[in-house]
Amino acid sequence: MLSDDKKIRDVVIVGGGPAGLTAGMYSARARMDAILLESFSVMGQATMTDLIENYPGVERSTGFDLVAGFKKQAESFGLQTSQHTVTGVSAMTEQGKRIFEVRTETGEFRALSVIVATGASPKKLEVRGEKDLLGKGVSYCATCDGPFFKGKEVVVVGGGDTAVEEALYLTRFADKVTIIHRRDRLRSVGILQERAASSDKIDFAWDSVVEEIEGKDLVSGVALRNVKTGDISHIACGGVFVFVGWNPNTGFLGDLVALEKGGSIKVDRAMGSSLEGLFACGDCTSKVLHQVVTAAGDGATAAFSSQKYVEEIKGMAYGQIEV
Ligand code: NAP
C-alpha cells in the first residue's frame, strides 16, 4: 500500500496505549485531521497487566479492558485508528512548512505534527538460557502465560511494582512463586509489599541474581548467585517470569530527536521534543512516574500542544489567525 494517500494530515499519533489513545481522543475532539497507528505485534505494558486498581474512577479493571475502553471512547469521537508498525520518521521542509513523514512497513503517512506514544518493551536479563527457553518457560507476561503454570513452581525476577503485582497474579495458578530480588528489600509500593508478604504461596530469594536459566527443552530451574556472599544456589521451577524494568521503544526515531541515555525521549512541560512539531508522551518519554494515569495526562497535553502548533502553522500559511 502506498500510504493511505499523499495527503498531509494535522497529526499522526504513533502508539495505541493509554498515552496515544488519550492523545487521539483529544485530537479527535479538537477536530484535528488525526490518525493513530498501532502495532498489532506489540502488547503495551498496561494491556499486559491483569489488575489495575489505581486509575481514578475505575475501582478495578484488567489492563486489557481499560485500554479497550480508552480506544472505544476515542473512536466514538471520530478518531481514525489503523494497524501499522512504524519503522521511521523524518522531517522535511516543503514550501516553508515542516512536513513529517511517518514510514510503516507498507507505506507512509504525512503530517504537520507527530505524537510519539510507543511505550516501552520488557528488559531482558541477558543470561544464559533466557533466549533459548523463551516460550518454553521463560516469559515477560504473566497475564499471557500464567495459566500454563497451574500446579507448578515458578520464579519471578525483579522487585518493582510489576514483579510483585505479577507474582501475586501467578499465585492463582502456581503452587509456589519465588520472587528473586537483587537487594534485601522490594522497590514496589507498600500495599503490594503487604499483599506479597501475607501470601502463603510467595517466597523470597533476597540479594540474589539469576546466573543462568536451566533446562533443555523446557525450563527446569535457575542458578542464583548471592550478591553478598557469592554463593551459588539452585531453584527447581517450571517457569521464569522476568520483570526487571522496561526499555523505551524509540529506536525507530534514530537521531531525529534528543534522547536520554536510556533511550527515552527528552520532553518539556508541553510534551514537546527537541524537534518542533514532534511531541511525545507516556512510557517512551523521560518521566518520574510510569502509570496509566500519568500516561493519559501526558497524552492530553501532547494533543493540546500539537493542536496549538498545527493551528499556528496553518495560521501562518493561510493568514487565518490574527495574533
Ligand atoms: P522498575 O520499577 O524499574 O523495577 C525493576 C526491578 O527490577 C527493580 O526492583 C530492579 O532492582 C530490578 N532489576 C533491574 N535490572 C535488573 C537485573 N538486571 N537483574 C535483576 N534485577 C533487576 O520496573 P517495573 O516494576 O516494571 O515498573 C516500571 C514502572 O511502572 C514503575 O514506575 C512502576 O511504578 C510502574 N508500575 C506501576 C504499577 C501500578 O501502579 N500498579 C504496576 C506496574 C508498574 P532494584 O530495585 O535493585 O533497582
- Domain borders along the chain are 3-121+246-313, 124-242
The confidence band for 224, taking pLDDT boundaries of 50, 70 and 90, is: very high
How many CB atoms within 10 Å of residue 289? 8
Q: Which residue has the cell 497524552?
A: 299
CA gap 241, 126 in Å, rounded: 13
Distance 123 CA to ligand 1 centre (A): 10
Task: List residues bridging with 97 in a β-sheet.
Answer: 94
Q: In CATH terms, is domain 124-242 a member of 3.30.9.10?
A: no
Pocket of ligand 1 (CB under 6 A): 54, 125, 157-163, 165, 182-183, 187, 209, 243-246, 289-291
Per DSSP, helices labelled H in the chain are 18-29, 63-76, 142-145, 161-170, 190-197, 292-318
Q: What is the mean pLDDT of the chain?
A: 94
Please determine, for residue 121, whether its predicted confidence score (pLDDT) is greater than 90: yes
The confidence band for 5, taking pLDDT boundaries of 50, 70 and 90, is: low
Cβ-based burial of 246 (10 A; exposed 0-12, middle 13-18, buried ≥19): buried
Q: Which of 125, 290, 292, 294 to mutate to test the pocket of ligand 1 (most atoms within 8 A of CB)?
A: 290
Task: Answer whether 265's CB lies under 8 Å from 259's CB.
Answer: yes
Distance 97 CA to ligand 1 centre (A): 42
Residues with Cβ within 8 Å of residue 230, at least 6 apart in sequence? none
- The answer to whether 3-121+246-313 and 124-242 have equal CATH topology is yes
Instruction: Provide the pLDDT for residue 305.
Output: 98
Residue 232 identity (one-letter amino acid)? I
- The kind and range of the H/E element at 239 are strand 239-242
Q: Which of 45, 162, 166 to mutate to test the pocket of ligand 1 (most atoms within 8 A of CB)?
A: 162
Hey, which residues are catalytic here? 141, 144-145
Residue 152 identity (one-letter amino acid)? K
Provide the 3-class DSSP secondary structure of residue 149: helix
Instruction: Provide the pLDDT for residue 4.
Output: 52
Name which of 250, 248, 286 is nearest 269 in CA terms.
286
The confidence band for 173, taking pLDDT boundaries of 50, 70 and 90, is: very high
Task: Return the C-alpha cell found at 227.
Answer: 550478591
The confidence band for 48, taking pLDDT boundaries of 50, 70 and 90, is: confident
Write the residue with the smallest CA distance to atom 39 of ligand 1.
161
Residue 271 identity (one-letter amino acid)? M
CA gap 74, 207 in Å, rounded: 45
Distance 157 CA to ligand 1 centre (A): 10
Ligand 1 atom with the shortest distance to the CA of 125: 18
CATH superfamily of 3-121+246-313: FAD/NAD(P)-binding domain (3.50.50.60)
CA gap 230, 233 in Å, rounded: 10
Write the residue with the smallest CA distance to atom 40 of ligand 1.
291
Whole-model pTM: value is 0.90
Instruction: Provide the pLDDT for residue 95.
Output: 86
Please determine, for residue 207, whether its predicted confidence score (pLDDT) is greater than 90: yes
Write the residue with the smallest CA distance to atom 4 of ligand 1.
160
Distance 288 CA to ligand 1 centre (A): 13
